[in-house]
DNA sequence: CGTTGCTGCACAATCGATTGTGCCAAGCCG
DNA sequence: CGGCTTGGCACAATCGATTGTGCAGCAACG
């Protein structure tokens, strides 16, 4: 059953023409090469009948192109990156490039190895999303003349398109403070930030946005208001538990730095009485549809994945790889209604901006 | 900065040897071809210095291989399929194949087009996951001699590895009934099934598993106990709402057929008092980590993604594509504790089985 | 009738790596 | 010393498609 694939030579023989004629017909430039329309028709019918498919390895070799565009991401199994894959595919297909997405598990060695392999398949462009070591990837790409763009995590050796974490954190913090109610307890009358890692670029920017808004609104911000305890849910759970003990209840507002952290925090919150939850305003930087069904109101920031990749492709389209800019895309602030509503989510400012 | 990539001919010239010698050295079979070790060392040093990378288009063309293995999935942006991508990559890499995952958006035309393009890149194997029209894909693959396996949704023209939906539904239904409490109301003393589409293979098998267990335990099952209202959350929300009206409260047990449906159901449940929720046992076919933080106990079935793909690769490894078997992999039944616990999830039977 | 110009195609080189085969030189044996 | 083996490599064909160039054949034209 496993037939030999048919080639232009097979078709040429069947049609009684030369291979170059077949090639001209099938690649669509038979008019420029002055092939008679009758001949073209005949070849096309034969190709369809034989179910001919071009061998892109051969074609790519000759044309010194592959039609492939690659993207590396840390992992597939993640809401943010999987929606990046989805957007990436759409944008690549619009441009008639064939998308290849590969995960690198936050392992710098695998990151580099994967990029090398992608290059060996002659990919034409590379989107480097959430890379742990974007600059090494840039060096490798540059050596082989592969144009590329960083997304989500910035590098210094290529143009980077990242989320405007500072702005998003400001918006979330402001909305949290606006929706929160003053407490009599001085200890609890503060907004708190929990989750993430302070060495991470995104977390740092969010901490800054949070701190700046808190300072503007309250005059000052204390060290104990910010706890970049790590990304894991259990760490955030423990952090909020101990905060709860330390200040004798929930704070006025709580900024939770990821959905993973939110999971842990919610595990702790479930042990508290409902009226205590009602006294705290909750916000989460990052979005999960399931969080909309939690039992308390929640503000969430949704990163603008389409915006990030759209901008990345705009850079690729314009071939402006040289300037190594840093482009920031504003996220969206969303509000999960506390009681079942017709539409569960309503966007607040919904803005796409470029710094 | 954009250098021409170096080829074996460049290296040959630099090393003062022939291209075939360079090729032999770099492809690792220089011993069989009796190249002197000194020559090999020299070539390898040069290749490293020049940052030579083989051109896989050329190599693949000559060897009539590509090193590529493809997988099509309906979408990336989904917990189940994105974890399939993750497992697929791991298994492919173990075998030194380069994985390409592409989504086809449940569009039969895009499905076929994507497969054709993958074939034109000379992929060596294809995993067809969750395809809407697996048999058309099979025909296309067969015509071009590409070995393939269906996963998640079965086809008739290739071996299929799917989740044991019947068994999983039985387990979930039994556990639900075991954990549920009898009600005085005759109307409410029943288990109900909600969500999914009856034309879908998976939903049908789950309905059968549910119905068979209910019949065994209660002697009979009524039509109104099963409502395949569709996948959307709003549909499930409406279905449960009207059920609640019809039987004057929640039923004894509720089998929810997807996490999407669960989202909708939870939106409705949030409008009910807590003590009413406590009288119903909830189960969801499919798993979401965020569901663990819901305010009521929940049984969940987690499909065994590693098991599904592991079996698919075992078939590829053994090259037994001819027999067109249907292999069913048992899922896991998990229990989300109702109150914050050290470990939020505990597996109940945790079994991998092949029918 | 010779020249020009156009049509319609074929020929052959090429992309870069792989691989069957051939060939020279050194070593060994009888 | 001649023949045979073996080591060490080069040569050239090959994979399938693309593309610059060449060349018949025919019509038109002066």
Identify the residue whose Cα has the smallest distance to the C1' of D19. Answer: A20
Q: How far apart are CA B303 and CA A88, in angstroms?
A: 27
Q: How far apart are CA A53 and CA B120, in angstroms?
A: 6
**pLDDT value of position A337:** 57
Fold that domain B165-303+334-347 belongs to in CATH? Rossmann fold (3.40.50)
Pick from A287-301, B8-22, B154-168, B300-314: least confident: A287-301
More confident residue, B289 or B112: B112
CA dihedral A294, A298, A299, A304 (to 10 degrees): -10
| Local confidence band at A295 (pLDDT 50, 70, 90 cut-offs) | confident
Instruction: Indicate if the pLDDT at residue B205 is higher than 80.
Output: yes
In the numeric block, which tokens belong to residue A185?
A: 């307890």
Tracing tokens 């499930």 back to the chain, one arrives at B236
- Cβ <8 Å between B56 and A268: no
The answer to whether the CB of B344 falls within 8 A of the CB of B182 is: no
Q: How far apart are CA A345 and CA A87, in angstroms?
A: 21
CATH: 3.40.50.2300, 1.10.3720.10, 3.30.450.20, 3.40.228.10. Which one for A165-302+334-347? 3.40.50.2300
**pLDDT value of position B337:** 57
Instruction: Indicate if the pLDDT at residue B108 is higher than 90.
Output: yes
Instruction: Indicate if the pLDDT at residue B343 is higher than 50.
Output: no
Tracing tokens 């702790």 back to the chain, one arrives at A268
Longest Cα separation, chain A: 93
Q: Which chain B residues are within 8 Å of A1, Cβ to Cβ? A: 142, 145
Q: How far apart are CA A268 and CA A256, in angstroms?
A: 13
Phi, psi of A191 (to 5 degrees): -90, 140
Pick from A106-120, A130-144, A223-237, A340-354: least confident: A340-354
Phi, psi of B196 (to 5 degrees): 90, 175
Distance from CA of B219 to the nearest CA of A (A): 36
Q: How far apart are CA B151 and CA B246, in angstroms?
A: 39
In the numeric block, which tokens belong to residue B82?
A: 């994105």
**pLDDT value of position A336:** 73
Q: How far apart are CA A248 and CA A189, in angstroms?
A: 11
- Cβ <8 Å between B293 and A116: no
Distance from CA of B218 to the nearest CA of A (A): 33
Instruction: Indicate if the pLDDT at residue B281 is higher than 70.
Output: yes
Instruction: Indicate if the pLDDT at residue A355 is higher than 60.
Output: no
Domain boundaries, chain A: 8-54, 63-158, 165-302+334-347
Instruction: Indicate if the pLDDT at residue B91 is higher than 60.
Output: yes
**pLDDT value of position B3:** 58
Task: Tell me whether domains B63-158 and B165-303+334-347 share a fold.
Answer: yes
List the Cα angle A271/A276/A277 in 5-degree steps. Answer: 75
CATH: 1.10.260, 2.60.40, 1.10.4160, 1.20.58. Which one for A8-54? 1.10.260
- B218's enclosing H/E stretch is helix B201-218
Query: Which SS3 state, helix, strand or coil, does residue B54 take?
Result: coil
Q: What mean pLDDT is reported for chain A?
A: 92
**pLDDT value of position B353:** 34
- A282's enclosing H/E stretch is strand A281-285
pLDDT tens track for A22-66:
999 999 999 999 999 999 999 999 999 999 999 999 999 999 999
Residue B6 carries which DSSP code? P
The answer to whether the CB of B282 falls within 8 A of the CB of B175 is: no
Q: How far apart are CA B196 and CA A29, in angstroms?
A: 49
Query: Mean pLDDT, to the nearest integer, of A80-95?
Result: 97
**pLDDT value of position B351:** 38
pLDDT tens track for A214-234:
999 999 999 999 999 998 999
Nearest alpha carbon to residue B174 among B253, B57, B239, B71: B253
Q: How far apart are CA A17 and CA A41, in angstroms?
A: 12
| Local confidence band at B1 (pLDDT 50, 70, 90 cut-offs) | very low
- Strand D nucleotides within a 7 Å radius of protein CB atoms: 7-12, 14-21
Nearest alpha carbon to residue B336 among B247, B242, B266: B266
**pLDDT value of position B298:** 94
Tracing tokens 């070591």 back to the chain, one arrives at A133
Q: Where are the beta strands (DSSP E) in chain B?
A: 68-73, 98-103, 125-129, 147-151, 160-163, 191-194, 226-227, 253-256, 281-285, 298-302, 326-329, 332-336, 345-347
**pLDDT value of position B14:** 96
Residue B5 carries which DSSP code? P
The pairing of strands B147-151 and B160-163 is: parallel
Q: How far apart are CA A13 and CA A9, in angstroms?
A: 6
- A13's enclosing H/E stretch is helix A8-15
- Partner residue facing A122 (CB), from B55, B79, B288: B55
Chain A with chain B: Cβ pairs closer than 8 A? 152
The answer to whether the CB of B289 falls within 8 A of the CB of A263 is: yes
- Strand C nucleotides within a 7 Å radius of protein CB atoms: 7-12, 14-21
| Local confidence band at A4 (pLDDT 50, 70, 90 cut-offs) | low
| Local confidence band at B352 (pLDDT 50, 70, 90 cut-offs) | very low
Query: Mean pLDDT, to the nearest integer, of A80-107?
Result: 97
**pLDDT value of position A113:** 97
pLDDT tens track for B329-339:
999 999 875 43
Q: How far apart are CA B142 and CA B121, in angstroms?
A: 16
- Partner residue facing A344 (CB), from B117, B267, B295: B267
Neighbouring CB atoms inside 10 A of A178's CB total 11
Q: Chain B residue with minimal CA distance to A234? A: B342
The pairing of strands B160-163 and B326-329 is: parallel
Pick from A37-51, B65-79, B314-328: least confident: B314-328
Q: Chain A residue with minimal CA distance to B93? A: A114
Residue A62 CA distance to nucleotide D7 C1' (Å) = 37
| Local confidence band at A3 (pLDDT 50, 70, 90 cut-offs) | low
Instruction: Indicate if the pLDDT at residue A319 is higher than 90.
Output: no
Instruction: Indicate if the pLDDT at residue B56 is higher than 50.
Output: yes
| Local confidence band at B293 (pLDDT 50, 70, 90 cut-offs) | confident
Fold that domain B63-158 belongs to in CATH? Rossmann fold (3.40.50)
CB burial readout B76-86, b (16+ within 10 A) else e: bbbbbbbbbbb
**pLDDT value of position B338:** 41
Percent of chain A with pLDDT over 90: 86
- Cβ <8 Å between B61 and A53: no
Choose, out of A72, A82, A118, A269, the residue to mutate when testing the contact with B (most B CBs < 10 Å): A82
């Amino acid at each position: 059953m496993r037939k030999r694939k048919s080639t232009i030579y097979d078709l040429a023989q069947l049609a009684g023409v030369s291979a170059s004629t077949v090639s001209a017909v099938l690649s669509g430039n038979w008019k420029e090469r002055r092939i008679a329309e009758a001949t073209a028709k005949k070849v096309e019918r034969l190709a369809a009948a034989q179910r001919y498919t071009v061998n892109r390895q051969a074609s790519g070799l000759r044309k010194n192109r592959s039609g492939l565009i690659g993207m590396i991401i840390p992992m597939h199994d993640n809401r943010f990156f999987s929606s990046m894959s989805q957007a990436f595919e759409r944008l690549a297909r619009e441009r008639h490039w064939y998308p290849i997405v590969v995960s690198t598990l936050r392992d710098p060695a695998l990151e580099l190895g994967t990029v090398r392999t992608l290059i060996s398949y002659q990919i034409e462009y590379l989107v480097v999303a959430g890379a742990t070591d974007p600059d090494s990837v840039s060096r490798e790409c540059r050596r082989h003349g592969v144009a590329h763009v960083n997304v989500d995590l910035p590098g210094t050796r290529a143009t980077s398109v990242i989320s405007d974490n500072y702005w998003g954190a400001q918006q979330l913090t402001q909305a949290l403070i606006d929706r929160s109610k003053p407490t009599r307890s001085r200890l609890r009358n503060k907004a708190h930030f929990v989750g993430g890692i302070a060495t991470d670029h995104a977390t740092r920017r969010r901490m800054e946005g949070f701190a700046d808004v808190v300072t503007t609104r309250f005059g000052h911000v204390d060290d104990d208001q910010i706890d970049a305890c790590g990304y894991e849910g259990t760490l955030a759970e423990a952090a909020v538990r101990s905060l709860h003990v330390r200040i004798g209840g929930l704070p006025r507002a709580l900024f939770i730095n990821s959905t993973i952290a939110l999971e842990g925090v919610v595990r702790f919150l479930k042990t508290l009485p409902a009226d205590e939850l009602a006294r705290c305003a909750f916000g989460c930087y990052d979005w999960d549809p399931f969080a909309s069904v939690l039992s308390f109101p929640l503000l969430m920031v949704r990163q603008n994945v389409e915006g990030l990749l759209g901008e990345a492709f705009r850079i690729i389209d314009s071939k402006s790889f040289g300037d190594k800019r840093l482009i920031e895309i504003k996220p969206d602030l969303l509000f999960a209604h506390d009681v079942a509503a017709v539409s569960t989510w309503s966007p607040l400012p919904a803005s796409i901006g470029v710094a």
